[in-house]
Structure 1
Amino acid sequence: MNIDWSFLISALGLAFMIEGIPYFLFSERMPRILLTIVERGPKQLRILGLIAMILGLLLISFGRSLSEI
């Protein structure tokens, strides 16, 4: 298996950028949003994480299909 390190590092950088957008745009609201997330139960957080992973996988597959055109 050959790993394309530049692609992996670029993807990680993009993930950090996307993660930082809400903190930059909604810095006044983020503490309240984070408190509501903390109040959720483990099952709800697991479902939220699963939905985020599925959406990420769909975006990756969509992006790859665009590059094949």
Structure 2
Amino acid sequence: MWHALLLALSLMLVIEGLLPFIAPNGFRRLLLQVASQDARSLRFSGLLSMLSGVALLYLVN
């Protein structure tokens, strides 16, 4: 189980690193837009992200 968890974490880090590596200026603009959102919008985005991840895990397994 730990092996699969570490593989998933490693893949997540690689995927998250793609945008700042490929387009650092666009990534900076994206971070500024996210920082200007209110807490409710950020929570909703986080909820959608988590639900999408759970749905994807369900479909894969």
**The two structures share one fold, judged by TM-score above 0.5:** yes
Q: Which is higher, the Rg of structure 1 or of structure 2?
A: 1
TM normalised by structure 2 equals: 0.89
Letter matched to residue 8 of structure 1: L
1:61 corresponds in structure 2 to 58
**More helix by proportion, 1 or 2?**
2
Structure 1 unpaired stretches of 5+: 65-69
Structure 2 unpaired stretches of 5+: none
1:27 corresponds in structure 2 to 24
Percent identical residues: 31
1:17 corresponds in structure 2 to 14
TM-fit CA distance, 1:22: 1.6
Q: 2:4 aligns with which of 7, 12, 15?
A: 7
Count of residues in Structure 1 that have an aligned counterpart in Structure 2: 61
Structure 1 residue ranges (4+ consecutive) displaced by more than 4 angstroms after TM superposition:
none
TM normalised by structure 1 equals: 0.80
